[in-house]
A and B are shown apart, each in its own frame.
Chain A
Amino acid sequence: MNKVFLIIQREYLTRVKKKSFIIMTLLSPVIFAAMMVVPAWLSSQKDTNEKNIAIEDNSGLYHSAFKSSQYIKYQYLKPESASNKKEIINNKIDALLVINSNLLHNPDDIHLYSDGQVTLDVINHIKQNINSHLRTEKLSSYNIEGLDEKIKEINKVKVKINTIRLDDDGTEKQSSAEFALAIGMISALLIYFIMIIYGTQVMRGVIEEKTNRIVEVIISSVKPFQLMIGKIVGIGLVALTQFFLWIVLTAGVVFFVQLSFSGGTSDKVEITQTVDTPQEVGTQSADQAHEVQKTINKILGILKDANMPLILGLFIFYFIGGYLIYSALFAAIGSAIDNETETQQFVMPVLLPLILSIYVAMAAFRSPHGDISFWFSMFPLTSPVVMMSRIPFDVPLWELLLSMTILTASFIFFTWFAGRVYRTGILMYGKKVSYKEIWKWFIQAGK
């Protein structure tokens, strides 16, 4: 046992100390965080250059329609100054808006001139100003009493569907399909990638020992099985370490970036805010702050209801189970061949169920309790990925237990199988290996 520990220690330390590991571990969270933060940041980046827009209102109807905002300033031109459009634009005015007639009758009769491409923000701002003005004008024409209040009320109406799941005993739980989907998707993909990345690392490690001819030196001190298990566990711990560091560092980076880019909560609201009717911005940002707070509370509530400890526990279980099965298979492959170029014919069949499981997982999001989802979450080579994608949708306990039992039994079987192939394989050199040959090793190891 002590020796297995030594082997684990070596496998772990040599990998963790590698430059590539340190770089990947430190860099990836920055990339992850960038993937989350940059789009949000970009969308929050309003053009902070002041834009001056001149309005030439030849209809005389819209002198109060346009309200300047922080970055977009409107100024009405006196009718007589409207002579040369080119001249006006050059003169510290970015664009010229010309309205010639009543827009309710001629909605097309509004033109924006500029010497360059006008940004979408500007166009939206103008559109919203004039639309809101026109709507109000139209409504006023009906002569309804207390109209202003009514319009405000109308603007406040917003519908959001709350999904509530009824449990067997009738208790209600707030659920969020999007959120469940995200959790399922992320954990299924993580398991998939970890099994491929670290499974092949096990294979490479075994091939390295074989091609370096160190394997016979080592198995004169330890049993081949101990060497194999030590390697698998050591590399598995590397995977867990990296995984853990990624989560911590990503959270740290995201937190730091948010803090330094936006200063306070009110600004954060600004990020999620879409361009709204300008005259309501003041009251709306308060409303929205409240709204965001509510959403956060709701997500926290779902997180609590979604039983995060269970999801996390199952994630770790399926990660370990799946990793052990696949890394054992990869170790057996590594022992059977002499160099990495020969791996292809053996790696493909092992990867097939894994790739298939990702497709099934995608289907499982649509029908988490269908037959296909069920059977693939029982089959040990696909269950880690498929079951993780189903878990947020409340899998019955007996299904979970059955799947976990099958997985446990299978990884014991696969490790045993791989151990027997490995024992013979690591000492075979310069032989072109076939499946038949591997089967012979397996049988022979039993004698």
Chain B
Amino acid sequence: MNLLEATGVVKKYANHLALNNVDIHVPENEIFGLLGPNGAGKTTFIRIINHITMADQGEILFNGKPLTSKDIYRIGYLPEERGLYKKMKVGEQALYLAQLKGLSKKDAYNKLKYWFEKFEIGAWWDKKVEELSKGMQQKVQFIVTVLHEPKLLIFDEPFSGFDPINANLLKKEILELKENGATIIFSTHNMSSVEELCDNICLINKSKTILKGHVNEVKQAFKSNQVMINFIGDEELFKQQLNGNYHLQSIDEKQGSFLAKVQMKKESETNQLISSLLPDFKILGFNEILPSMDEVFIKAVQQSNANQ
């Protein structure tokens, strides 16, 4: 079941097309990666979901029904461009933002107490925002985003400004939110965190979706038929064996064994390659090399740009 279904979304600005017939389906209770180069149209799409701007065309279903402005109570949005009133006290401000999301003052207060304790920032309650570091402010903002327990959470570059320790804490929290039933749209340029967290992804380039699917499927689709072979035997013989049929990209000696990166022409050659090596070498490992999400991103965007 999809929590969010956007079909044929078009958004035009005065002199450019921000979204061109975009379809994005976000399955329920998943972390969904919304990826793309700068200016691809991600933020526009997120703003349409949040009712900040309106789509010119297209249909957006939320929980099976057309998205209305009432639904923003069930959405939590952490924008990339985010900040707080500098002169306001932390607690006061958190209460204000929570009330704007429809919580009663008392509810908001109790929930804030819980989260402030969880993040060990209870002592900041009466501090002015300008006294906090950027990372501290980000924590407060994260809390305010998730406080009203929305069904859909949208995080735009949530880790910016966090040190590794706090980034890990945040990752843990995001996974916990998912466990508790939330659906999360996660927009970032940090591909390693996509690999760590995301289930499905969608890649937007130049206002169009160019790639979508589960992270593993996407990687499979972009794999380049490379294998990593760990063997014991003669290096020169190994090179001769490959000669002509396979391309050796690199070979390193490591504690008596060799690690070789080999490029095949087709995936189906795998068994052939193994059987050709078996008589002369002791094979310790034979792994298919899957591309990193970074590589997938770059390849997909380059291909799409070349096609235009």
Contact = CB atoms under 8 A, between A and B. Distances in A.
B247 interface: no
B52 A217 contact: no
Interface string A185-228: 00000000000000000000000110011101111111110000
B75 A220 contact: yes
Contacts of A429: 81
A213 B56 CA distance: 26
Interface in A42-88: none
A427 B48 CA distance: 13
A252 B180 CA distance: 61
A222 B77 CA distance: 12
B83 A3 contact: no
Interface string B55-97: 0100000000000010010010101011111111000000011
A205 to B, nearest CB: 10
A221 B101 contact: yes
B84 A214 contact: yes
A216 B81 contact: yes
B52 A427 contact: yes
B99 interface: yes
Interface residues of B, number: 28
Interface string A1-42: 001001100100010000000000000000000000000000
A81 B69 CA distance: 104
B81 A218 contact: no
Contact of A6 (B72, B82, B100): B100
A440 interface: yes
A90 to B, nearest CB: 67
Given A212-B84, A214-B84, A221 B79 contact: no
Q: Chain B at the A interface: mostly helix, strand, loop or mixed? A: loop
Contacts of A221: 72, 97, 100-102
A273 B83 CA distance: 64
A217 B79 contact: yes
Contacts of A213: 79, 81-83
Nearest to B129: A212
B188 interface: no
A224 B51 CA distance: 10
A447 B53 CA distance: 11
Nearest to A444: B14
A97 B72 CA distance: 93
A220 B50 contact: yes
Interface in B136-177: 141, 144
B52 A6 contact: no
Interface string B90-118: 00000011011110000000000000000
B97 A218 contact: yes
B231 to A, nearest CB: 55
A245 B69 CA distance: 41
Contacts, number: 60
B14 A214 contact: no
Contacts of B86: 212
Contacts of B85: 14, 208-209, 212, 214
Nearest to A6: B99
A218 B100 contact: yes
A3 B77 CA distance: 18
A447 B14 CA distance: 11
A222 B84 contact: no
A10 B52 contact: no
Interface string A425-447: 00101000000000010001001
A216 B79 contact: yes
Given A6-B99, A14-B87, A440-B14, A214 B75 contact: no
Given A212-B85, A216-B81, A447 B97 contact: no
Contacts of B77: 217, 220
Contacts of B69: 223
A444 B11 CA distance: 12
Contacts of B102: 221
Contact of B100 (A14, A222, A224, A440): A222
B76 to A, nearest CB: 8
Contacts of A224: 52
A216 B72 contact: no
A225 B258 CA distance: 67
A214 B56 contact: no
A220 B96 contact: no
Contacts of B141: 217
B204 to A, nearest CB: 19
A444 B84 CA distance: 29
Nearest to A221: B100
A263 B294 CA distance: 87
Contact of B79 (A10, A212, A220): A220
A128 to B, nearest CB: 63
Contact of A214 (B47, B50, B82, B99): B82
A219 B101 CA distance: 10
Interface in A213-269: 213-214, 216-224
Contacts of B144: 217
B52 A219 contact: yes
Contacts of B88: 14
A427 B144 CA distance: 21
Nearest to B98: A221
Interface string B15-46: 00000000000000000000000000000000
Nearest to B141: A217
Nearest to B100: A221
Contacts of B56: 447
Nearest to A227: B100
B96 to A, nearest CB: 6
Contacts of A3: 100
A217 B75 contact: no
A427 B46 CA distance: 13
Interface centre among B13, B75, B81, B88 (most CB of A within 10 A): B81
Given A220-B77, A444-B14, A212 B72 contact: no
A216 B52 contact: yes
Contacts of A222: 100
Interface centre among B47, B83, B86 (most CB of A within 10 A): B83
Given A220-B51, A221-B97, 19 more contacts: A6-B100, A14-B85, A14-B87, A208-B85, A209-B85, A212-B83, A212-B84, A212-B85, A213-B81, A216-B79, A216-B81, A217-B84, A218-B100, A220-B50, A221-B72, A221-B102, A429-B81, A444-B14, A447-B56
24 contacts: A6-B99, A6-B100, A14-B85, A208-B85, A212-B84, A212-B85, A213-B81, A213-B82, A214-B83, A216-B52, A217-B79, A217-B83, A217-B144, A220-B50, A220-B51, A220-B52, A220-B72, A221-B72, A221-B97, A221-B100, A221-B101, A224-B52, A427-B52, A447-B56
